Chains A and B, each alone.
Chain A
Amino acid sequence: MNIATFGLADFVGVFVGFVLTLLVFSYVLGDNALFRVAAHIFVGVSAGYAAIITIYDVLLPQLIYPLVYGGSEEKYLSIALLIPSLFLFTKVTPWKRAGDWAMAILVGIGAAAAVGGAITGTLFPQTLGAINSFETSTSPNSSNIWINLLNAGIVVLGTISTLIFFHFGARSKPGHAPQRLALIENISKIGQLFIATTFGVLFAGVYLAALTALIERVSFLWNFIREIGLKLLASI
């Protein structure tokens, strides 16, 4: 966007942004009508925006253009894509069940992506990572081999104990809730420590990200007041 050519639009835009920011910030005082207005505008705008991007970036190049301009092979493939797509639209009609099979395609792909992704994307790499722990210099500032070995041992212990923490199978004793084996229970306690650590670290990460966003917004507000608000006041 060229600020020089769209000065007025930008000015209005910055003002709108300022107002909307304040509306959202009013949530700190409690859930209120101002916040809800901003939220509903946001939901509407983001949905419209997503729809436009989807049409422009997906449907046109993947479905419509090949159908109109593509070669014969492309056309057949596009028709093959078009049929389930049309059936999907039955989901907003009373004949909802007609689109079940089109949804089944999506669900089938999703299920396979979940299984395949979990195996190739997490199971293999994370297992390999755990196995490779002892080869890594896990301690950032230490070249001492023993400290590294100790750290690697802690990483592996954390991985294993966390995995075991989630063991579901339990044995039931008369009059008691089902309980796991004492060994598993003890390892779980260690696992709990590692889970607490991971959550604490992740929470701190999210907090720092949010804090940076807050700083950005507060400085935007200041800048607006300083650059535009004061000028506006002066002109009045």
Chain B
Amino acid sequence: MKLKFRAPLATTIAIAVGLVVLVGYFIPAAQTLRFIFLRMGIVLAAVALLVGVLNLISVHFRKISDKDSKGGYSLVLILALLATLGIGIYDMFKAHMYGNPNFEWMNWIFTYIQRPIETSLMAVMTVSLTCAATHLLRRKLNFLAIGFFIILLLVLMGTISLSMINFPILEDIRSWIIHVPALGGARGLLLGIALGTITTGLRIITGSDRPYEG
């Protein structure tokens, strides 16, 4: 194995932490240590989020200062972000000062801005998914695509319940597809993904892949 340790400290730390946490999964005695590291991971991920927010601001600030034609959008983004942060900090301050926080303004932002946009995005997906399904056979007419299309039709047919014409067989077919062949396929896919995940993780624990090298 040809390893070039450009960042020996970082590599050593990654390997050591990885091994300790991994062992913690299998040896109960090492579980405490594993949880300490997990707590460290949670805190670090949270700090990374703040770093990320700074990154987001700097990226869009640059776009504005570049006088990019799309700089206006970036301005909207930064204003929305700063406004939310400001309101959040105000809510937190209020909570700290008066106790029993209810984050009313944060909740307002969430309920009337974030949630409607997100649910609308999900709703628009219906159109995108329908278009994708109608295009599927035009783009690839192979065994997998035809199978996919037929199963999609069968499952959707099994979902509807017409009062005038009762087709319990469609419901049974849908149920059978979900319980039998789809379960088998999903299990195989999940096991395969698990294999890939294990090797990917092990490459990092062995120091073969070092994404943290800056």
Contacts and interface: CB of A to CB of B under 8 A. Distances in A.
Interface in B105-162: 106-127, 129-130, 133, 143-152, 154-156, 159
Nearest to B188: A162
B211 A20 contact: no
Interface string B178-205: 1111111111111111110110111011
A198 B186 contact: yes
Q: How large is the interface on B (under 10, 10 to 19, 20 to 34, 35 or more residues)?
A: 35 or more
A70 interface: no
A155 B56 CA distance: 46
Contact of A13 (B50, B51, B112, B147): B112
B198 A118 contact: yes
A109 B187 contact: no
A38 B148 CA distance: 34
A162 B192 contact: yes
B74 A216 contact: no
Taking each of A89, A109, A118, which has the highest tally of chain B beta carbons within 10 Å of its own beta carbon?
Answer: A109
B7 A97 contact: yes
Contacts of B205: 108, 111-112, 115
B152 A204 contact: yes
User: What interface size band does chain A fall in?
Assistant: 35 or more
Contacts of B170: none
B12 to A, nearest CB: 8
B184 A200 contact: no
B32 interface: no
Contacts of B107: 1
A194 B184 contact: yes
Given A194-B184, A200-B151, A48 B46 contact: no
Contacts of A56: 88, 92
Interface string B32-53: 0000111111111111111101
Nearest to B117: A42
A138 B183 contact: yes
Interface stretch (A169-177, A178-186, A207-215, A225-233): A207-215
A127 interface: yes
B151 A112 contact: no
Contact of A28 (B55, B127, B159): B127
A59 interface: yes
Contact of B17 (A55, A97, A105, A141): A105
A130 to B, nearest CB: 6
B101 to A, nearest CB: 8
B21 A38 contact: no
Interface of B: 7, 9-11, 13-22, 24-26, 36-51, 53-56, 58, 73-74, 76-85, 88-89, 91-92, 104, 106-127, 129-130, 133, 143-152, 154-156, 159, 172, 175-195, 197-198, 200-202, 204-205, 211-214
22 contacts: A47-B81, A51-B53, A59-B43, A88-B48, A91-B214, A100-B9, A104-B14, A109-B41, A112-B18, A116-B24, A122-B194, A155-B180, A155-B187, A160-B188, A162-B189, A195-B185, A198-B189, A199-B185, A200-B148, A206-B125, A210-B122, A218-B123
